[in-house]
Structure 1
């Protein structure tokens, strides 16, 4: 019987990956999120921004002063929100 791979989910309050212990969202989590939210990049950005805020709150509660630039790069910096072409541009 084959085992299902463990998902790359955040472990709070440290915000490390439960599977690989890398800072979340790790590369496998990014790939999964990009696939799950395919075609809905704005929803993905909102989801990650909400997680970013939760991470800031959790880290402050732990007594850690998080680096805002590093957290922004980690949670949102990997996104490429491309402009979708207008229908008239497709003709």
Structure 2
């Protein structure tokens, strides 16, 4: 039974002239992790091309920067934030 939803099309990639040493390192890493070389290559590419903190407004670094800027704006406006002491219970 069809739900009417289309699955995204998967792309294929052929890498020519890959250094044999790089291929061997990929093979070993894949084997250590129990992955195929293809699955390992997908993970390596996805991690290498993941959005950076500057590109991702919800990243930890971006949120810290936004809070620091907010703090500067509040200080400039004369607003003092009181941060209460934390007590473990």
> Whose strand proportion is higher, 1 or 2?
1
TM-score of the two chains, using structure 2 as the length reference: 0.28
Higher relative CO (CA 8 A, sep ≥ 6), structure 1 or 2?
Answer: 1
Q: Which structure has the larger Rg?
A: 2
